[in-house]
Structure 1
Amino acid sequence: MKRFFRKALTLLSVYYAYTIEYRAEVILWLLSNSLPIILMGVWIEAAQGGRFNLSPVDFARYFLAVFIVRQITVTWVVWQFEDEIVQGKLSPRLLQPIDPVWHHVASHIAERMARFPFTLLLIVVFFLLYPQAFWVPKIANFLLFLLASVLAFVLRFIMQYSFAMLAFWTERASAVENFWFLFYLFLSGMIAPVEVFPESVRAIVLWTPFPYMIDFPANILIGSPVDLTRGFSLIVGWILVFLGLNRLLWRRGLKRYSGMGA
């Protein structure tokens, strides 16, 4: 156990130092994930007519929560892994006594540590510009939000890492992720709260993994009513599904790997 923590701290420190070297890039990536803040203005205007059950303040809080969740759950492992396969960079990592996935996990966690101060600053600016949306979440809600966000990140990471395994068979595994992202964009709650979906559509969407990666943790944070048992059960269930798929593709993919130009 002590060796595990020593290796984990070493990886985190290395990737954190690497991330800090590119602070400007971190800020740009942070701003590139500000789509929820832009959409917030659209939905606030739409809510003025009272056509939805949510008020303008509710929409403001929701999309701020979406922005926060996005900072926690954003992933890019498919592009990193695809590059490693195509250029043969995976070979030296296979010689190391740890699974290559931990390099990517450490990279993602270190990047979040680096972007945290900038995210906090943007949240403060948001409340200065829109003070009527300020609220303090209950401690229980905040803790459940952290748990849901971590699980959402795990689901998003394993899902994308599973698509990355296709790089053993094709040089454009990221194309699958780009296609899958369309469903993620419209069904996760990033474009619109799942609550405003038609009832028949919402009933189907809630069985997919998408709303539990954004809408579910965001609603927990702002205190909206959610089915916690169903939400956490489906997150864990989808994690296990994609984890099984990932391990299957990993074992079969390694048999095809030949270094450069697999």
Structure 2
Amino acid sequence: MSEHSATAGVLGRRVAVVFGATGWIGRAICHELVRADASIVLVGRDANRLAALQRELGGGDRVLSTVADVTSQLEVDDAREAAITRFGHVDLLVVSSGVITGSAFGDGIPADWADMIDVNLRGLLHASQTFAEPLLQRADSGSPADIVLIGAVSTDVRAPRFAVFNALSAAIKQLARALRHEYGPRGMRVHIIEPAFAVDQSGERRNAAAPGHDLRRARAASAVQPDTIAAVVTLAAALPRGVNLAEVLLLPTETA
């Protein structure tokens, strides 16, 4: 049995929109969804990176890329229109856009906080609200419909340099719970996946945006790798319609 044979075909006829598609986690999710036979709309800010990812995925009729900034309501609206024009419907939304900046709270730069708030929270609100209507239309017709939010473990007291990021992560978790109660009665599922970040002995999280950390080293040291997150996205979307994999906490086995 091949490595990916278990997921092949499980999302046939599903149409997924992935925000943050060209990011470290987003790329893995896109590859996994294509392996699972979903049609997919790649959404990101960089046209060149989107084109490169589309080539990686083999192009074809099942992959569409659209340039949009998740913090722009108009551009998110355009992404929805492009998706529905191409595929006729959307039944899976994945929001993996995110910015991480770390510093002691007293040394924090308000502009960095604003950037994290805009992308991690306001952008997620834009995407979730904009795509709620087409998702609910699918749910009302008896078809599967899912929102998957990529959050983060936000209660790690050993990482005090990420107070604002942690606060936003907690807000995303609360939003997922509220949306689950609002939309669940209509048959739409809302999932949140919370991967852990690696924390070094100084208590500082290793992540791509933290000053002083080499990007490759940080990614290699991450406690949970993107392929794992992508597999959970597919699992959540492939479950029978009446079951919701509501909250997933991904921790390294050795420290869980």
Same-fold call, TM cutoff 0.5: no
Which structure's residues are more often helix, by fraction?
Answer: 1
Which structure's residues are more often strand, by fraction?
Answer: 2
Q: Which has the higher contact order (CA 8 A, sep 6+)?
A: 1
Q: Which one has the largest radius of gyration?
A: 1
TM-score (norm. length: structure 2) = 0.31
